Amino acid sequence: MNYPFDIIINILNHSLSQKEIEIVERKGIGHPDSLAEQIAEFTCRNICNYYKNKYKAIYRFNVDQVEINGGEIKIDFGRGQIIKPAEVIISGKASCVSQEECKKINKIAVSSAKKLLISIFNNKILRVFKIKSNIGMYSIRNKRFFESRKLPISEDTAIGIGFYPYTLAENLTLDIEKNLSRKLIKEFPIGKDTKVMVVKKDSKRKIQIVISIAFLGEKIKNINEYFLLKEKIKEKLLVLVKKKIKQQAELVINAADDKKEGKVYLTLTGTAAEHDKGSVGRGNKVSGLITPYRATSPEIIYGKNPVYNVGKLYNLLAFYLARKIAKRFNNRLLIEVSILSQLGNPINIPQIININVSNKYKVNEKDKKIIRSIVFKEFKNLFRIMPNSNYTRFTDMVLNKVIGTP
């Protein structure tokens, strides 16, 4: 079959993921960088909904610059005090027919940040943050351009990269963070600001797990209780780890703690954002992880427009396709998908799609044909314009969280 774009399939003799040395990291949902990125993406989704409801189309905008500037707190065992609130600053540009509409967009951004923070923590979190929105205005000269029912054109060069299935270290990192933020947070006085790093040096040696957890100082009586709680959390996590891997694991929590010096990791709210910085672009990638030993796109997706920004679309799509292909072959194939945009082409016609396949199962020409047919079918299906709109089914799936990050 002739495709409107090149689909190149490389069969690799070496493994894409099973390396001797592997380092994987995940920042929890309460980490300052994660907060900045979630605020950007939640704001993006709400601005899209505003445009959809008012214009039946999503106009141009980007809100991918969110900064958290930490304030000042006093924290000790059994007590804490806010000295100076932290700042959340949302920046970007949005299409507006007037200054009044621009003010409306900024109000949506501030409201989005508040709702997001409350959903992760509670109502009291708003005492800790002052929220500002500085979204500038794109003047709308031609509404017909935005309300066109044609596919958007790629106006930038961008590459999306995705892979599947995940490695043992990658899955372990995800499992530990989710266990902390969903289960152990209900049992212990800890916050959702966590960071998990898993280091695998080879298949025989111990796996090293280094975890940072923000403890809630007001709910802990003294330093002895703090270290006792750390030990209990460690025991529970090691039970989880033993269920997931065969190798021995060395697990450390808050490695910088020093009992003699009284140095411990306490917070008032459960996030270092109350006194530290956070920024879009420094958190987890589209995989939900930070994977320096994997091929990774430099594109940042959070807060980017899901109709026009090919960097965002192609990164999400690369992971979506990698998963589809791998599951079609019962995860016997290790898949890495790269999608390169073509400046001036409709977004459903990239310049090239490169698929690296690594496995012990021999891939033949029939398998390659199946892989190409999956890619072409998904492009044809996902890039259909939705009824009475200017955006595709793929964008609709992104907005409804059918497609997204773990």
- Model pLDDT, residue 141: 59
- Model pLDDT, residue 102: 95
- Model pLDDT, residue 138: 85
- Model pLDDT, residue 361: 77
The answer to whether residues 320 and 162 touch, using CB atoms and an 8 Å cutoff, is yes
Contacts of 103 by beta carbon, 8 Å cutoff, 6+ apart = none
- H or E stretch covering 315: helix 310-328
For the record, the structure tokens of 48 come out as 């899209």
Rounded to whole angstroms, the Cα distance separating 285 from 322 reads 16
- Model pLDDT, residue 1: 55
- Find tokens 């709702």 and name the residue: 115
- H or E stretch covering 310: helix 310-328
pTM score of the predicted model: 0.94
Return the CATH class of domain 168-279. Answer: alpha beta
DSSP 8-state secondary structure symbol assigned to residue 46 = H
State the Cα torsion 27-31-32-35 to the nearest 10°: 90
- Model pLDDT, residue 246: 87
- Single-letter residue type at 149: R
- Residue ranges of the chain with pLDDT lower than 50? none
Question: How big is the CA angle at 96 (ends 93 and 99), to the nearest 5 degrees?
Answer: 100
Rounded to whole angstroms, the Cα distance separating 400 from 404 reads 9
Nearest residue to 164 via CA among 379, 320, 371: 320
